[in-house]
Amino acid sequence: MLSKRLYQIVLLFLILAFTSNVSAADAPTEAPDFSAPDLSGTVRTLSAYRGRIVILNFWATWCPECIREIPSLNAFAETNKDVVVLGIASERNPETVRNFRAGSNPNYPVIVDTTGDVFVKKYLVRALPNTVIVDRKGFIAERLFGAENFQSKSFQEKIQRLRDAK
């Protein structure tokens, strides 16, 4: 019998194997609005950030790839103050994320999606990590599947194109 952690890892890799990168450029889709508290209790509503570029980073404490990308997302958030970065953790217990966060130190707000409403119902996230870039008009500009280097030239260029768009 597989342990819970091994089961989660196997499931993650199976999902990744059957998921392809899809650019929102094919069909502009409005980013589903949500309202949820972050770990400090501040309610975050996506529509409140209209007019700004928003990075939604879907992750979980049990996901090694998710954990690996936190330092580059921290660095991105630190040097790109004009872009809103929100971490959305898939966990049933916010305390698990609080304890994890104490060791990994994400420097951006982290929402805990205990019900799966944002993950499953609104954004149809099937693989982790998963990053959704929302443009200033509130449309999904791009979905990125798998670990991302947020400091890479290609990622920086994606954000710059959104900055340049009027």
Residue 98 makes CB contacts below 8 A (sequence gap 6+) with: 39
Q: What are phi and psi of 132, to 5 degrees?
A: -115, 125
Is the bond preceding 94 in cis, omega lying within 30 degrees of 0?
no
Measured CA angle at 60 (ends 40, 21), to 5 deg? 120
How confident is the model at residue 45, as a pLDDT? 95
Could you tell me whether strands 110-112 and 43-45 are parallel, antiparallel, or unpaired per DSSP bridges?
unpaired
How confident is the model at residue 59, as a pLDDT? 93
3-state helix, strand, coil split of the chain in percent (to 5) is: 40, 20, 40
Going by the DSSP 8-state scheme, the letter that residue 26 receives in this structure is G
Q: What is the DSSP string of 41-78?
A: S-EEEGGGGTTS-EEEEEE-TT-HHHHHHHHHHHHHHH
Kindly report the number of other CB atoms within 10 A of residue 141's CB atom: 23
Q: What is the DSSP string of 76-113?
A: HHHH-TTSEEEEEE--S-HHHHHHHHHHH--SS-EEE-
Whole-model pTM over 0.85 = no
What tokens appear for 115 in the block? 């019900």
How confident is the model at residue 107, as a pLDDT? 87
Going by the DSSP 8-state scheme, the letter that residue 80 receives in this structure is -
| Per-position pLDDT tens, the chain of length 166 | 556 665 566 555 545 544 444 444 456 899 999 999 998 899 999 999 999 999 999 999 999 999 999 999 999 999 999 999 999 998 888 888 888 865 667 889 999 998 888 988 899 998 899 999 999 999 999 999 999 999 999 999 999 999 998 7
Q: Which of 14, 49, 45 is nearest to 134 (CA)?
A: 49
How confident is the model at residue 21, as a pLDDT? 46
